[in-house]
Structure 1
Protein backbone atom coordinates (compact mmCIF):
# COMPACT_ATOMS: atom_id res chain seq x y z
CA UNK A 1 0.00 0.00 0.00
CA UNK A 2 1.26 3.47 -0.86
CA UNK A 3 2.39 5.70 1.94
CA UNK A 4 -0.46 8.04 2.86
CA UNK A 5 1.96 10.95 3.02
CA UNK A 6 2.54 10.55 -0.72
CA UNK A 7 -1.01 11.77 -1.38
CA UNK A 8 -0.31 15.13 0.28
CA UNK A 9 0.40 17.86 -2.30
CA UNK A 10 4.04 18.89 -2.22
CA UNK A 11 3.01 22.56 -2.56
CA UNK A 12 -0.25 24.07 -1.31
CA UNK A 13 -0.96 27.77 -0.82
CA UNK A 14 -4.19 29.41 0.25
CA UNK A 15 -4.86 33.13 -0.28
CA UNK A 16 -1.10 33.75 -0.22
CA UNK A 17 -0.21 37.42 -0.16
CA UNK A 18 2.90 39.56 0.17
CA UNK A 19 3.02 43.29 0.84
CA UNK A 20 6.34 45.12 1.06
CA UNK A 21 6.78 48.13 3.35
CA UNK A 22 3.58 47.24 5.15
CA UNK A 23 2.27 50.04 7.35
CA UNK A 24 3.80 52.84 5.30
CA UNK A 25 2.42 55.04 2.55
CA UNK A 26 4.66 53.27 0.02
CA UNK A 27 3.09 49.83 0.21
CA UNK A 28 3.75 47.52 -2.72
CA UNK A 29 1.39 44.58 -3.13
CA UNK A 30 3.65 41.99 -4.74
CA UNK A 31 1.36 38.99 -4.36
CA UNK A 32 -2.39 38.81 -3.86
CA UNK A 33 -4.61 35.86 -2.98
CA UNK A 34 -2.62 33.07 -4.63
CA UNK A 35 -4.21 29.61 -4.38
CA UNK A 36 -1.84 27.01 -5.78
CA UNK A 37 -1.69 23.22 -5.44
CA UNK A 38 1.14 21.22 -6.99
CA UNK A 39 1.08 17.46 -6.76
CA UNK A 40 4.16 15.37 -6.13
CA UNK A 41 6.15 14.52 -9.26
CA UNK A 42 4.81 17.35 -11.41
CA UNK A 43 6.66 19.67 -13.79
CA UNK A 44 5.07 23.11 -13.46
CA UNK A 45 5.96 26.46 -15.01
CA UNK A 46 5.05 29.79 -13.45
CA UNK A 47 5.18 32.40 -16.19
CA UNK A 48 4.83 36.15 -16.28
CA UNK A 49 6.61 39.37 -17.23
CA UNK A 50 8.94 41.29 -14.95
CA UNK A 51 6.98 42.67 -12.01
CA UNK A 52 4.18 40.11 -12.26
CA UNK A 53 4.98 38.57 -8.87
CA UNK A 54 6.53 35.30 -10.03
CA UNK A 55 9.86 35.93 -8.29
CA UNK A 56 8.07 36.90 -5.06
CA UNK A 57 6.06 33.67 -5.28
CA UNK A 58 9.25 31.70 -5.84
CA UNK A 59 10.85 33.27 -2.76
CA UNK A 60 7.84 32.28 -0.67
CA UNK A 61 7.70 28.75 -2.09
CA UNK A 62 11.43 28.42 -1.44
CA UNK A 63 11.00 29.60 2.16
CA UNK A 64 13.39 32.49 1.47
CA UNK A 65 10.70 34.95 2.64
CA UNK A 66 7.52 34.81 4.67
CA UNK A 67 4.06 35.78 3.40
CA UNK A 68 2.14 38.76 4.77
CA UNK A 69 -1.14 36.83 4.59
CA UNK A 70 -2.49 33.41 3.74
CA UNK A 71 -0.86 30.03 4.30
CA UNK A 72 1.74 27.80 2.69
CA UNK A 73 2.23 24.09 3.27
CA UNK A 74 5.51 22.67 1.95
CA UNK A 75 5.39 18.87 1.67
CA UNK A 76 2.61 18.84 4.27
CA UNK A 77 4.30 21.23 6.72
CA UNK A 78 2.71 24.61 7.53
CA UNK A 79 5.74 26.89 7.28
CA UNK A 80 4.12 29.48 9.57
CA UNK A 81 4.63 27.07 12.49
CA UNK A 82 8.42 26.96 12.02
CA UNK A 83 11.03 29.13 13.69
CA UNK A 84 14.06 30.34 11.73
CA UNK A 85 16.15 27.24 12.47
CA UNK A 86 13.40 24.80 11.54
CA UNK A 87 12.63 26.80 8.41
CA UNK A 88 16.29 26.62 7.35
CA UNK A 89 16.23 22.86 7.93
CA UNK A 90 13.09 22.45 5.84
CA UNK A 91 14.62 24.53 3.06
CA UNK A 92 17.80 22.46 3.15
CA UNK A 93 16.00 19.09 3.13
CA UNK A 94 12.99 19.77 0.92
CA UNK A 95 14.08 22.30 -1.72
CA UNK A 96 16.85 22.46 -4.29
CA UNK A 97 17.48 25.80 -6.02
CA UNK A 98 18.68 26.43 -9.58
CA UNK A 99 19.29 29.99 -10.76
CA UNK A 100 20.00 31.74 -14.06
CA UNK A 101 23.51 32.51 -12.82
CA UNK A 102 25.20 29.23 -11.96
CA UNK A 103 26.79 30.48 -8.70
CA UNK A 104 29.66 28.01 -8.91
CA UNK A 105 32.88 28.74 -7.02
CA UNK A 106 35.61 29.16 -9.65
CA UNK A 107 38.46 27.64 -7.64
CA UNK A 108 36.56 24.43 -6.88
CA UNK A 109 36.08 21.55 -9.28
CA UNK A 110 32.63 20.23 -10.12
CA UNK A 111 32.67 17.62 -7.37
CA UNK A 112 33.51 20.10 -4.62
CA UNK A 113 30.91 22.59 -5.90
CA UNK A 114 28.22 19.89 -5.81
CA UNK A 115 29.31 18.70 -2.35
CA UNK A 116 28.99 22.15 -0.74
CA UNK A 117 25.41 21.75 0.59
CA UNK A 118 26.40 18.50 2.27
CA UNK A 119 28.66 20.42 4.63
CA UNK A 120 25.74 22.55 5.79
CA UNK A 121 23.74 19.35 6.28
CA UNK A 122 26.59 17.96 8.44
CA UNK A 123 27.09 14.94 6.23
CA UNK A 124 30.33 13.15 7.19
CA UNK A 125 33.22 14.22 4.99
CA UNK A 126 33.88 10.76 3.58
CA UNK A 127 30.29 10.55 2.28
CA UNK A 128 30.30 13.91 0.53
CA UNK A 129 32.46 12.95 -2.44
CA UNK A 130 30.52 9.74 -3.04
CA UNK A 131 27.19 11.56 -3.04
CA UNK A 132 28.52 14.44 -5.15
CA UNK A 133 29.86 12.04 -7.77
CA UNK A 134 26.51 10.22 -7.85
CA UNK A 135 24.69 13.55 -8.36
CA UNK A 136 27.04 14.48 -11.21
CA UNK A 137 26.46 11.09 -12.81
CA UNK A 138 22.69 11.65 -12.57
CA UNK A 139 23.01 14.78 -14.76
CA UNK A 140 25.41 13.14 -17.21
CA UNK A 141 28.62 14.79 -16.00
CA UNK A 142 30.55 11.96 -14.32
CA UNK A 143 33.43 12.48 -16.73
CA UNK A 144 33.69 16.19 -15.82
CA UNK A 145 33.89 15.68 -12.05
CA UNK A 146 37.39 17.14 -11.72
CA UNK A 147 36.85 20.10 -14.06
CA UNK A 148 36.59 23.66 -12.77
CA UNK A 149 33.79 25.95 -13.99
CA UNK A 150 36.02 27.74 -16.53
CA UNK A 151 36.69 24.35 -18.13
CA UNK A 152 32.99 23.68 -18.66
CA UNK A 153 30.45 25.02 -21.16
CA UNK A 154 27.49 27.07 -19.96
CA UNK A 155 25.18 24.08 -20.26
CA UNK A 156 27.60 21.91 -18.31
CA UNK A 157 27.91 24.55 -15.58
CA UNK A 158 24.13 24.65 -15.24
CA UNK A 159 24.03 20.86 -14.97
CA UNK A 160 26.64 21.06 -12.19
CA UNK A 161 24.35 23.59 -10.47
CA UNK A 162 21.42 21.19 -10.88
CA UNK A 163 23.49 18.35 -9.41
CA UNK A 164 24.29 20.60 -6.44
CA UNK A 165 20.56 21.29 -6.00
CA UNK A 166 19.86 17.55 -6.04
CA UNK A 167 22.66 16.33 -3.78
CA UNK A 168 20.52 16.44 -0.60
CA UNK A 169 17.75 14.49 -2.41
CA UNK A 170 15.09 17.22 -2.00
CA UNK A 171 11.60 16.42 -3.31
CA UNK A 172 11.24 19.93 -4.79
CA UNK A 173 13.42 21.62 -7.41
CA UNK A 174 12.86 25.38 -7.83
CA UNK A 175 14.42 26.72 -11.03
CA UNK A 176 14.46 30.49 -11.63
CA UNK A 177 15.05 31.31 -15.35
CA UNK A 178 17.47 28.35 -15.55
CA UNK A 179 17.98 28.64 -19.31
CA UNK A 180 18.31 32.43 -19.42
CA UNK A 181 22.11 32.42 -19.71
CA UNK A 182 22.29 29.48 -22.14
CA UNK A 183 22.23 29.10 -25.91
CA UNK A 184 19.17 27.39 -27.35
CA UNK A 185 20.75 23.92 -27.65
CA UNK A 186 22.05 23.94 -24.06
CA UNK A 187 18.70 25.28 -22.87
CA UNK A 188 16.85 22.42 -24.53
CA UNK A 189 19.23 19.92 -22.89
CA UNK A 190 18.57 21.40 -19.44
CA UNK A 191 14.81 21.30 -20.00
CA UNK A 192 15.08 17.66 -21.10
CA UNK A 193 16.98 16.97 -17.87
CA UNK A 194 14.14 18.52 -15.84
CA UNK A 195 11.72 16.13 -17.56
CA UNK A 196 13.90 13.17 -16.59
CA UNK A 197 14.03 14.43 -13.01
CA UNK A 198 10.23 14.68 -13.00
CA UNK A 199 10.06 11.10 -14.25
CA UNK A 200 12.34 10.12 -11.35
CA UNK A 201 9.81 11.56 -8.88
CA UNK A 202 11.09 15.09 -8.29
CA UNK A 203 8.65 18.01 -8.38
CA UNK A 204 10.06 20.66 -10.73
CA UNK A 205 8.82 24.26 -10.52
CA UNK A 206 10.15 26.45 -13.30
CA UNK A 207 9.99 30.26 -13.10
CA UNK A 208 10.20 31.91 -16.51
CA UNK A 209 9.06 34.82 -18.67
CA UNK A 210 9.48 32.75 -21.84
CA UNK A 211 6.44 30.94 -23.24
CA UNK A 212 8.65 28.58 -25.26
CA UNK A 213 10.43 27.47 -22.08
CA UNK A 214 7.16 27.17 -20.16
CA UNK A 215 5.74 24.93 -22.91
CA UNK A 216 8.08 22.14 -21.77
CA UNK A 217 6.24 21.87 -18.45
CA UNK A 218 3.18 19.69 -17.87
CA UNK A 219 1.20 22.67 -16.59
CA UNK A 220 1.71 26.43 -16.82
CA UNK A 221 0.41 29.07 -14.42
CA UNK A 222 0.35 32.66 -15.65
CA UNK A 223 0.86 35.59 -13.28
CA UNK A 224 -0.15 39.21 -13.73
CA UNK A 225 -0.04 42.04 -11.20
CA UNK A 226 0.69 39.65 -8.32
CA UNK A 227 -2.17 37.24 -9.04
CA UNK A 228 -2.49 33.89 -10.78
CA UNK A 229 -4.74 34.63 -13.74
CA UNK A 230 -4.64 31.44 -15.81
CA UNK A 231 -3.54 27.82 -15.80
CA UNK A 232 -3.04 25.61 -18.86
CA UNK A 233 -2.08 21.97 -19.27
CA UNK A 234 0.49 20.96 -21.85
CA UNK A 235 -0.76 19.56 -25.16
CA UNK A 236 0.29 15.90 -25.42
CA UNK A 237 3.02 15.33 -27.99
CA UNK A 238 1.84 13.40 -31.06
CA UNK A 239 2.81 9.73 -31.06
CA UNK A 240 4.96 8.52 -33.97
Structure 2
Protein backbone atom coordinates (compact mmCIF):
# COMPACT_ATOMS: atom_id res chain seq x y z
CA UNK A 1 0.00 0.00 0.00
CA UNK A 2 3.06 2.28 0.41
CA UNK A 3 4.47 4.35 -2.42
CA UNK A 4 7.19 2.81 -4.52
CA UNK A 5 10.66 4.01 -5.40
CA UNK A 6 11.94 2.03 -8.36
CA UNK A 7 10.98 -1.57 -7.63
CA UNK A 8 11.36 -1.46 -3.83
CA UNK A 9 8.29 -0.57 -1.77
CA UNK A 10 8.66 2.36 0.59
CA UNK A 11 8.21 1.23 4.22
CA UNK A 12 4.96 2.45 5.76
CA UNK A 13 6.84 3.16 9.00
CA UNK A 14 10.49 4.26 8.89
CA UNK A 15 11.81 5.46 12.25
CA UNK A 16 15.42 6.30 13.15
CA UNK A 17 16.85 7.38 16.51
CA UNK A 18 13.48 8.37 17.93
CA UNK A 19 13.64 9.91 21.41
CA UNK A 20 10.91 11.28 23.62
CA UNK A 21 11.82 13.06 26.83
CA UNK A 22 9.23 14.50 29.18
CA UNK A 23 10.08 17.41 31.52
CA UNK A 24 13.61 17.62 30.06
CA UNK A 25 16.19 19.24 32.29
CA UNK A 26 14.11 18.99 35.46
CA UNK A 27 14.19 16.58 38.38
CA UNK A 28 11.05 15.01 36.93
CA UNK A 29 12.74 14.21 33.58
CA UNK A 30 11.57 10.93 32.04
CA UNK A 31 13.16 9.36 28.96
CA UNK A 32 10.17 7.51 27.50
CA UNK A 33 11.89 6.54 24.24
CA UNK A 34 15.65 6.24 23.93
CA UNK A 35 16.86 6.00 20.34
CA UNK A 36 14.22 3.76 18.76
CA UNK A 37 14.69 2.40 15.22
CA UNK A 38 11.76 0.67 13.53
CA UNK A 39 10.99 -0.21 9.92
CA UNK A 40 7.62 -1.71 8.96
CA UNK A 41 7.01 -2.91 5.42
CA UNK A 42 3.68 -2.73 3.55
CA UNK A 43 1.44 -5.68 4.40
CA UNK A 44 3.20 -6.62 7.65
CA UNK A 45 1.38 -7.66 10.82
CA UNK A 46 3.64 -6.36 13.62
CA UNK A 47 3.14 -6.61 17.37
CA UNK A 48 4.79 -4.07 19.69
CA UNK A 49 4.81 -5.75 23.08
CA UNK A 50 5.78 -4.45 26.50
CA UNK A 51 4.53 -3.93 30.04
CA UNK A 52 2.96 -0.73 31.33
CA UNK A 53 5.60 2.00 31.52
CA UNK A 54 7.87 0.42 28.91
CA UNK A 55 7.34 3.20 26.36
CA UNK A 56 5.08 1.31 23.96
CA UNK A 57 2.18 3.76 24.38
CA UNK A 58 4.53 6.68 23.74
CA UNK A 59 5.78 4.95 20.59
CA UNK A 60 2.18 4.32 19.51
CA UNK A 61 1.33 8.00 19.96
CA UNK A 62 4.32 9.01 17.84
CA UNK A 63 3.52 6.45 15.10
CA UNK A 64 -0.07 7.73 15.14
CA UNK A 65 1.14 11.36 14.88
CA UNK A 66 -0.66 12.19 18.13
CA UNK A 67 2.58 13.51 19.66
CA UNK A 68 5.95 14.79 18.42
CA UNK A 69 9.37 13.30 19.24
CA UNK A 70 12.14 15.14 21.07
CA UNK A 71 14.67 13.90 18.51
CA UNK A 72 14.99 11.46 15.64
CA UNK A 73 13.17 11.02 12.32
CA UNK A 74 9.89 9.43 11.31
CA UNK A 75 8.61 8.91 7.78
CA UNK A 76 5.00 7.71 7.56
CA UNK A 77 4.26 6.08 4.21
CA UNK A 78 7.09 8.14 2.74
CA UNK A 79 6.16 11.47 4.36
CA UNK A 80 8.59 13.22 6.73
CA UNK A 81 6.32 13.84 9.71
CA UNK A 82 8.57 16.56 11.18
CA UNK A 83 7.93 18.78 8.16
CA UNK A 84 4.14 18.87 8.70
CA UNK A 85 2.15 21.53 10.54
CA UNK A 86 -0.86 20.76 12.75
CA UNK A 87 -3.37 20.82 9.88
CA UNK A 88 -1.17 18.61 7.70
CA UNK A 89 -0.71 16.17 10.60
CA UNK A 90 -4.49 15.96 11.00
CA UNK A 91 -4.80 15.19 7.27
CA UNK A 92 -2.08 12.55 7.53
CA UNK A 93 -3.88 10.84 10.41
CA UNK A 94 -7.12 10.84 8.41
CA UNK A 95 -5.52 9.50 5.22
CA UNK A 96 -2.78 7.19 6.46
CA UNK A 97 -3.77 5.73 9.86
CA UNK A 98 -6.82 3.84 11.07
CA UNK A 99 -7.04 3.72 14.88
CA UNK A 100 -8.57 0.85 16.88
CA UNK A 101 -8.73 1.18 20.68
CA UNK A 102 -9.45 -1.15 23.58
CA UNK A 103 -12.58 0.83 24.53
CA UNK A 104 -14.12 0.82 21.01
CA UNK A 105 -14.81 4.62 21.20
CA UNK A 106 -18.17 4.38 19.43
CA UNK A 107 -20.82 7.10 19.74
CA UNK A 108 -23.79 5.61 21.59
CA UNK A 109 -26.48 7.67 19.82
CA UNK A 110 -25.31 6.62 16.36
CA UNK A 111 -26.01 3.39 14.51
CA UNK A 112 -23.16 1.12 13.48
CA UNK A 113 -23.43 2.52 9.95
CA UNK A 114 -23.26 6.14 11.18
CA UNK A 115 -20.27 5.38 13.43
CA UNK A 116 -18.38 3.79 10.55
CA UNK A 117 -19.23 6.61 8.12
CA UNK A 118 -18.17 9.39 10.51
CA UNK A 119 -14.53 9.84 9.30
CA UNK A 120 -15.81 10.41 5.77
CA UNK A 121 -17.62 13.51 7.02
CA UNK A 122 -14.26 15.02 7.99
CA UNK A 123 -12.99 14.08 4.52
CA UNK A 124 -15.99 15.95 2.98
CA UNK A 125 -17.30 12.86 1.17
CA UNK A 126 -20.97 13.34 0.05
CA UNK A 127 -23.54 11.60 2.32
CA UNK A 128 -24.71 9.04 -0.27
CA UNK A 129 -21.12 7.96 -0.91
CA UNK A 130 -20.46 7.79 2.83
CA UNK A 131 -23.29 5.33 3.34
CA UNK A 132 -22.17 3.11 0.45
CA UNK A 133 -18.57 3.05 1.73
CA UNK A 134 -19.72 2.36 5.30
CA UNK A 135 -21.92 -0.54 4.20
CA UNK A 136 -18.99 -2.08 2.34
CA UNK A 137 -16.75 -1.64 5.39
CA UNK A 138 -19.31 -3.30 7.69
CA UNK A 139 -19.67 -6.17 5.23
CA UNK A 140 -15.87 -6.59 5.22
CA UNK A 141 -15.92 -7.23 8.99
CA UNK A 142 -18.97 -9.49 8.81
CA UNK A 143 -21.56 -7.05 10.18
CA UNK A 144 -23.63 -6.06 7.15
CA UNK A 145 -26.83 -7.13 8.89
CA UNK A 146 -26.11 -5.01 11.99
CA UNK A 147 -25.85 -1.64 10.19
CA UNK A 148 -28.86 -0.09 11.95
CA UNK A 149 -27.97 -1.31 15.46
CA UNK A 150 -26.60 1.07 18.07
CA UNK A 151 -23.56 0.08 20.17
CA UNK A 152 -25.68 -0.98 23.19
CA UNK A 153 -27.45 -3.46 20.91
CA UNK A 154 -24.16 -5.12 19.93
CA UNK A 155 -21.85 -7.52 21.75
CA UNK A 156 -18.31 -6.41 22.67
CA UNK A 157 -16.87 -8.30 19.72
CA UNK A 158 -19.39 -6.74 17.35
CA UNK A 159 -18.60 -3.27 18.72
CA UNK A 160 -14.88 -3.86 18.09
CA UNK A 161 -15.68 -4.99 14.53
CA UNK A 162 -17.60 -1.73 14.02
CA UNK A 163 -14.56 0.16 15.32
CA UNK A 164 -12.31 -1.74 12.90
CA UNK A 165 -14.67 -0.97 10.00
CA UNK A 166 -14.54 2.72 10.97
CA UNK A 167 -10.72 2.56 11.03
CA UNK A 168 -10.71 1.07 7.53
CA UNK A 169 -13.20 3.49 5.97
CA UNK A 170 -10.56 5.74 4.34
CA UNK A 171 -8.50 2.72 3.18
CA UNK A 172 -5.48 3.85 5.22
CA UNK A 173 -2.19 2.01 4.66
CA UNK A 174 -1.72 1.60 8.44
CA UNK A 175 -4.08 0.05 10.98
CA UNK A 176 -2.87 0.94 14.49
CA UNK A 177 -4.56 -1.18 17.17
CA UNK A 178 -3.99 -0.41 20.88
CA UNK A 179 -4.87 -3.42 23.09
CA UNK A 180 -7.80 -4.18 20.74
CA UNK A 181 -8.73 -7.43 22.54
CA UNK A 182 -8.25 -6.08 26.07
CA UNK A 183 -11.98 -5.61 26.77
CA UNK A 184 -13.02 -8.91 25.15
CA UNK A 185 -13.25 -12.50 26.35
CA UNK A 186 -10.60 -14.84 24.96
CA UNK A 187 -12.78 -16.45 22.27
CA UNK A 188 -13.99 -13.10 20.94
CA UNK A 189 -10.42 -11.80 21.10
CA UNK A 190 -9.31 -14.70 18.90
CA UNK A 191 -12.00 -13.76 16.35
CA UNK A 192 -10.75 -10.15 16.26
CA UNK A 193 -7.14 -11.32 15.80
CA UNK A 194 -8.26 -13.60 12.96
CA UNK A 195 -9.92 -10.56 11.37
CA UNK A 196 -6.62 -8.64 11.58
CA UNK A 197 -4.91 -11.52 9.77
CA UNK A 198 -7.48 -11.38 6.98
CA UNK A 199 -6.96 -7.63 6.70
CA UNK A 200 -3.22 -8.23 6.48
CA UNK A 201 -3.86 -10.76 3.71
CA UNK A 202 -5.86 -8.07 1.90
CA UNK A 203 -2.82 -5.77 1.92
CA UNK A 204 -3.29 -3.70 5.07
CA UNK A 205 -0.36 -3.08 7.42
CA UNK A 206 -1.42 -3.94 10.97
CA UNK A 207 0.48 -2.67 14.02
CA UNK A 208 -0.76 -4.19 17.26
CA UNK A 209 0.16 -2.71 20.66
CA UNK A 210 -0.18 -5.22 23.50
CA UNK A 211 1.21 -6.35 26.85
CA UNK A 212 0.00 -9.92 26.23
CA UNK A 213 2.45 -12.42 24.72
CA UNK A 214 -0.38 -14.72 23.59
CA UNK A 215 -1.97 -11.87 21.64
CA UNK A 216 1.39 -10.78 20.19
CA UNK A 217 2.05 -14.36 18.99
CA UNK A 218 -0.64 -13.89 16.31
CA UNK A 219 1.52 -11.31 14.52
CA UNK A 220 4.09 -12.08 11.82
CA UNK A 221 6.81 -10.26 13.77
CA UNK A 222 7.15 -9.13 17.39
CA UNK A 223 9.25 -6.29 18.79
CA UNK A 224 9.53 -5.65 22.50
CA UNK A 225 9.71 -2.32 24.35
CA UNK A 226 11.70 -2.27 27.58
CA UNK A 227 12.63 0.94 29.43
CA UNK A 228 12.25 3.05 26.29
CA UNK A 229 14.39 0.77 24.12
CA UNK A 230 13.06 -1.42 21.31
CA UNK A 231 14.33 -4.97 20.87
CA UNK A 232 13.64 -7.72 18.37
CA UNK A 233 11.68 -10.47 20.14
CA UNK A 234 14.65 -12.84 19.94
CA UNK A 235 16.97 -10.27 21.53
CA UNK A 236 14.48 -9.53 24.32
CA UNK A 237 14.14 -13.24 25.10
CA UNK A 238 17.91 -13.77 25.24
TM class, shorter-chain normalised?
A: over 0.9
Q: Tell me if 1:111 matches 2:128.
A: no
Superposed CA RMSD = 1.4
Measure, in 1, the Cα distance between the counterparts of 2:3 and 2:148: 39
Give 2:71's aligned residue: 69
Q: Tell me if 1:60 matches 2:45.
A: no
1:131–1:167: 8 Å Cα contact kept in structure 2? Answer: yes
Measure, in 2, the Cα distance between the counterparts of 1:25 and 1:206: 33
1:11–1:39: 8 Å Cα contact kept in structure 2? Answer: yes
Measure, in 2, the Cα distance between the counterparts of 1:70 and 1:229: 17
Give 2:232's aligned residue: 230
Measure, in 1, the Cα distance between the counterparts of 2:109 and 2:86: 31
Measure, in 1, the Cα distance between the counterparts of 2:110 and 2:119: 14
DSSP-derived class of the 2:233 partner: strand
DSSP-derived class of the 1:146 partner: coil
Pairing partner for 1:87 from 80, 89, 94: 89
- In the alignment of these two chains, the number of paired residues is 232
User: Which aligned pairs between 1:1-240 and structure 2 lie closer than 5 A?
Assistant: 4-5=4-5, 7-232=9-234
DSSP-derived class of the 1:32 partner: strand
1:219–1:232: 8 Å Cα contact kept in structure 2? Answer: no
Measure, in 2, the Cα distance between the counterparts of 1:92 and 1:147: 25
DSSP-derived class of the 2:103 partner: coil
Measure, in 1, the Cα distance between the counterparts of 2:231 and 2:78: 25
1:65-98 CA-partner distances (Å, limit 9, x unpaired): 0000000000011100111111110111000000
Residue 25 of structure 1, CA deviation: 2.6
Measure, in 1, the Cα distance between the counterparts of 2:88 and 2:210: 29
User: Which segment drifts farther, 184-193 or 5-14?
Assistant: 5-14
Q: Which runs of 5+ in 2 are unaligned?
A: none
- Aligned in 2, Cα 1:3/1:76: closer, same or farther, shift over 3 Å? closer
- Aligned in 2, Cα 1:232/1:121: closer, same or farther, shift over 3 Å? farther
What is the TM-score of this pair, normalised by structure 2? Answer: 0.95
2:3–2:78: 8 Å Cα contact kept in structure 1? Answer: no
Residue 24 of structure 1, CA deviation: 2.5
What is the TM-score of this pair, normalised by structure 1? Answer: 0.94
Measure, in 1, the Cα distance between the counterparts of 2:227 and 2:38: 16
1:135-187 CA-partner distances (Å, limit 9, x unpaired): 00000000111111111100000000000000011010000000000011110
- Aligned in 2, Cα 1:70/1:134: closer, same or farther, shift over 3 Å? same
Q: Which runs of 5+ in 1 are unaligned?
A: 234-240
Q: Which runs of 4+ in 1 moved over 3 A?
A: none
Residue 232 of structure 1, CA deviation: 4.6
